[in-house]
Amino acid sequence: MLNARSRKFFSYYKPYLGLLVTDLVSAFVVAAVALILPLFVRHITKDILAGNAPDVLGQIYGTGALMLVLVVVQTLCTVFVDYQGHMMGAFMERDMRRGLFEHYQKLSFGFFDNHLTAHLMNRITNDTFAMSELFHHCPEDIVISVLKLIGAFTILITINVPLTIVIFAFLPIMTVYALYFNKKMSVAVRTSRDRIGDVNAQLEDSLAGIRVVKSFTNEVVEAKKFGIQNNRFLEARRVEYKSYMFFTSGMLFFTQLLTIVLLVVGGASIVNHSLDLVDLLTYLLYLGILLEPIRGASNLGRLYQEGITGFNRFMEMLEVRPDIEDLVTATDLKQVRGHLKFQDVSFKYTENHEEVLKNVSLEIQAGEFIALVGASGVGKTTLCSLIPRFYDVSQGQIFLDGKNLKDLRLNSLRQSIGIVQQDVYLFAGTVADNIAYGNLEAGFSEIVDAAKKANAHEFIMALSNGYDTDIGQRGVKLSGGQKQRLSIARVFLKNPAIIIFDEATSALDNESERAVQQSLEKLFANRTTIVIAHRLSTIKNAQRIVVLGDKGIAEQGTHQELIALGGVYANFYNMQLRI
């Protein structure tokens, strides 16, 4: 019985069974012709030339013509194997890469918190390529090798039994040797794959932070950090190539030794008149055919180890189940009002992690504008991340319009929520592309309207190509205020019932901050709004301010009520005034 991983491995062949069968038939023909051709050579030299037939030249020409036809057929089949066989592997690689990418999209934030992006990229690029090589070469090489081994052995034993026994006395030794070093290569290849992931992680980290690196003139430091990972990868490669070297050189030694033994034994057999010269030459030709798959076993072994290592790493990711999934009974949201209720909510990121939130109970009316305030680390962002179910509560329940969030389909829930993050993420592409991300079905006029509401239209039109301007990776060609307004335009286009805003205006100049605040006032109108406040002066107009502390909600009320209370909020506010 095949285990789950084996079934998954072979399932990738299913869409391409026709191509696979044709590929294997072509490989079979290639191997069969290779086996047949030496028989024609033996026929010409032993039967035709030595037989003194009356039409010797005619038989030679006829045999040569038949050999030519076989060679043409073999060449055509080789062309098919080399092209269509590789394409089959490429198709399967595409399918695996797409499947893994789509699986990544389903995984929860907790997964990405614990995995480096470069390692995830390595699984979807290098590992799938190694698998495509295995998917293509393995079936072909097995068919060719098995046919050549069985065919050559059958023909050899009909020529001379003692010589054939000598050959197969070597095979068990060669097999044990090959299996031993194949196992060592497997460990080395796995280590090498992990180390190149570390190299990619270091590279991504350094390049993503290149502006910080240069501003602190720490290029040498980053070069040393990269050098450490690069050298660790080199050492892993050294072990891998050392194992491969022992494998290939050992197999070469055995095959050359076998050739020498056959020449010596065959020569002695000729002297003893138990073998003639033509049969010895034929035997040596078939020995080459027999040893070809044995020599090729080194390459097949390498492809197998790299491919199966890549497949196991691929499956490790594919077998990770999302922490957060739709229940079978989950339903869609309809006519969202935006009433939220937190009921005794506690949360911690892992079982061993301390609770970030503890017994929080909070009710937010539909259309209410509230602000979350508190010291760093008390769980303001975490509380907001629980609403779209980026994480699930550890204890308690959250309700939206009276429905438990876990009873709602994730897609439906998240469609009703718009998030403006502190760290604005814009994709490489045009201004219009980034705004349209809020609603991919929106027309250009709707994109422009959203930009106007976000006070972004004026600066967009001043760009070199207006809405078609390429903004670079992560919007590097725009200022902080411009990026923030594009992210707000994106939410305008989405038109959600609930807005979560992680306030990031403190880093903007006064003019940009004013423009952003004006666009936010339009965005917040008639929507349930939760603002994570960093600058308390910007949330005076909030209908309610909720102050979070280490033990949950410390106090709540309007700005004036909390100032009059003289508690935590008043201390925060007065401290910022002094600053």
pLDDT tens, position by position, 354-375: 888 888 899 999 999 999 988 8
Q: pLDDT value at position 211? A: 63
Domain match, 423 and 350 both: yes
Residue 341: pLDDT band (50, 70, 90) is: very high
What's the whole-number mean pLDDT along residues 12-17?
90
- Rounded CA gap, 213 and 288, in Å? 59
Residue 22: pLDDT band (50, 70, 90) is: very high
Q: Is residue 332 part of a domain?
A: no
Q: Is residue 327 part of a domain?
A: no
Residue 169: pLDDT band (50, 70, 90) is: confident
* Residue found by looking up tokens 């910080």 in the block: 212
Let me know how many helices (H) and strands (E) the chain has, helices first. Answer: 21, 10
* Residue found by looking up tokens 């725009």 in the block: 478
Q: Is residue 83 part of a domain?
A: yes
Domain match, 262 and 307 both: yes
Q: Is residue 106 part of a domain?
A: yes
Domain match, 142 and 224 both: yes
What's the whole-number mean pLDDT along residues 424-428?
82
Domain match, 70 and 123 both: yes
Written as six digits, the tokens of 3 are 């285990």
Q: Round the CA-based radius of gyration of the chain to a whole number and report it.
A: 35
Domain match, 75 and 113 both: yes
**Total-model pTM:** 0.76
Residue 48: pLDDT band (50, 70, 90) is: low
Q: 95, 178 in Cβ contact below 8 A?
A: no
Q: pLDDT value at position 59? A: 78
> Is it the case that residue 116 has pLDDT exceeding 60?
yes
Domain match, 294 and 431 both: no
Q: Is residue 333 part of a domain?
A: no
For residue range 303-317, what is the model confidence (pLDDT) as tens digits? 787 788 888 888 888
For the domain that residue 213 is a member of, what is the CATH number?
A: 1.20.1560.10
For the domain that residue 510 is a member of, what is the CATH number?
A: 3.40.50.300
Residue 509 domain boundaries? 340-578
Domain boundary among 318, 352, 374: 318
Domain boundary among 318, 353, 386: 318
- Rounded CA gap, 17 and 516, in Å? 57
Q: Is residue 154 part of a domain?
A: yes
- Rounded CA gap, 270 and 258, in Å? 18
Q: Which carries the bigger pLDDT value, residue 573 or residue 417?
A: 417
Domain match, 113 and 255 both: yes
Domain match, 407 and 292 both: no
Distances (CA, A) of 103 to 100, 320, 427, 522: 5, 9, 21, 37
Q: pLDDT value at position 183? A: 75
DSSP character at residue 310 = H
Q: Is residue 326 part of a domain?
A: no
Cα dihedral 42, 47, 53, 55, rounded to 10, equals -30
DSSP code per residue over 373-436? E-STTSSHHHHHHTTTTSS--SEEEEEETTEEGGGB-HHHHHHTEEEE-SS----SSBHHHHHH
Q: Which carries the bigger pLDDT value, residue 99 or residue 248?
A: 99
- Rounded CA gap, 391 and 487, in Å? 23
Residue 49: pLDDT band (50, 70, 90) is: low
Q: How confident is the prediction for the chain on average, in pLDDT?
A: 83
Domain match, 285 and 351 both: no
Residue 54: pLDDT band (50, 70, 90) is: low
> Is it the case that residue 388 has pLDDT exceeding 70?
yes
Q: Which carries the bigger pLDDT value, residue 228 or residue 516?
A: 228
What's the whole-number mean pLDDT along residues 529-552?
83
Q: What's the domain count of the chain?
A: 2
What is the per-residue burial (b if ≥16 Cβ within 10 Å, else e) of 91-120? bbbebbbebbeebbeebbebbeeebbebbb
For residue range 430-480, what is the model confidence (pLDDT) as tens digits? 899 889 988 888 899 999 998 988 888 888 999 889 999 988 877 888 888
Give the SS3 label for residue 152. helix
Pairing of strands 403-404, 395-400: antiparallel
What's the whole-number mean pLDDT along residues 333-339?
89
For residue range 243-267, what is the model confidence (pLDDT) as tens digits? 888 887 887 788 788 888 888 888 8
For residue range 554-576, what is the model confidence (pLDDT) as tens digits? 899 988 888 888 888 888 888 77
Q: pLDDT value at position 69? A: 92
Q: pLDDT value at position 488? A: 86
Q: pLDDT value at position 219? A: 80
* Residue found by looking up tokens 């038989």 in the block: 59
Residue 398: pLDDT band (50, 70, 90) is: very high
Q: pLDDT value at position 77? A: 92
Q: Is residue 472 part of a domain?
A: yes
Residue 404: pLDDT band (50, 70, 90) is: very high
Q: pLDDT value at position 526? A: 84
Domain match, 312 and 359 both: no
- Rounded CA gap, 257 and 177, in Å? 15
> Is it the case that residue 400 has pLDDT exceeding 90?
yes
Q: Which carries the bigger pLDDT value, residue 257 or residue 294?
A: 257
Q: pLDDT value at position 507? A: 54
- Could you tell me which residues come within 8 angstroms of residue 327 by beta carbon, excluding any fewer than 6 positions away? 406, 407
What's the whole-number mean pLDDT along residues 33-47?
79
Sign of torsion over alpha carbons 346, 351, 354, 356: negative
Continuous segment of H or E residues that includes residue 544? strand 544-549
Nearest to 194 by CA among 132, 118, 133: 118
Domain match, 250 and 354 both: no
- Range ranked top by mean pLDDT from 121-125, 202-206, 504-508: 121-125
Pairing of strands 369-373, 552-557: unpaired
Domain match, 460 and 410 both: yes
For residue range 270-292, what is the model confidence (pLDDT) as tens digits? 888 777 787 778 877 887 787 77
